[in-house]
Amino acid sequence: MIEMAVFALLAVLTIVPAALVVTVKNIFHAALFLVLSLTGVAGFFAMLGADFLFVVQILLYAGGITVILLFVVLLSGSPKDWLIRQMNEQWLGALAASAVFVAVLAGLFQYLPGPESISAVGPTTELLGVLLLREMVLPFEAVSLVLLAALVGAVLFTRRGEGK
């Protein structure tokens, strides 16, 4: 009962700001709604007992990436660029595509095994660490290499203008 209420609250907190992100005209407001939506997702992690993912979601997405987004908004352009129409003529098609995607996902989720009980879930950090550094060490390192390559690439792209 309480679980259902919390779930509903978090769902509203996630979906409504997410919809506002792509509809409000003010880019800064859109970025702030994105923070709210990502925090809602973090709330889902907390509710499902994934404590590590909850904090990482807050640390990286709500506290890191969106701060950089807000930063870029403040730095970019003149005030008239901050108020733009976010949608073009294809919004109806995009809406239909998203609806189909949601329907397919909802259909798929019926065949997934559900968690036995939410209250039985314990701390996950240690399990996650052991999993990442023992069985999954190769994919983990591969992902970190890809991220490193992306980082070096980003530096390379931003440096190009300086050399000329």
Q: Site residues (CB under 8 A) for another protein?
A: 26, 28-29, 32, 35, 51-52, 55-56, 58-59, 62-64, 66-68, 70-71, 73-75, 123, 125
Beta carbon nearer to another protein, 115 or 123 = 123
- b/e 78-102 (16+ beta carbons within 10 angstroms → b): eeeebeeeeeeeeeeeeeeeeeeee
Rounded least distance, CB 121 to another protein, Å:
11
Rounded least distance, CB 68 to another protein, Å:
7
Beta carbon nearer to another protein, 72 or 99 = 72
Beta carbon nearer to another protein, 74 or 103 = 74
Phi and psi dihedrals of 122, rounded to 5?
Answer: -100, -170
DSSP 125-142: HHHHHHHHHTTTHHHHHH
Among 59, 1, 69, smallest CA distance to 31 is for 69
Rounded least distance, CB 147 to another protein, Å:
14
Q: Which helix (H) or strand (E) holds 56?
A: helix 51-56
Beta carbon nearer to another protein, 72 or 145 = 72
Rounded least distance, CB 118 to another protein, Å:
16
Strand partners, 83: 26
Beta carbon nearer to another protein, 126 or 135 = 126
Reduced DSSP (H G I as helix, E B as strand, rest coil) percent helix, strand, coil of the chain, to 5:
80, 0, 20
Rounded least distance, CB 149 to another protein, Å:
19
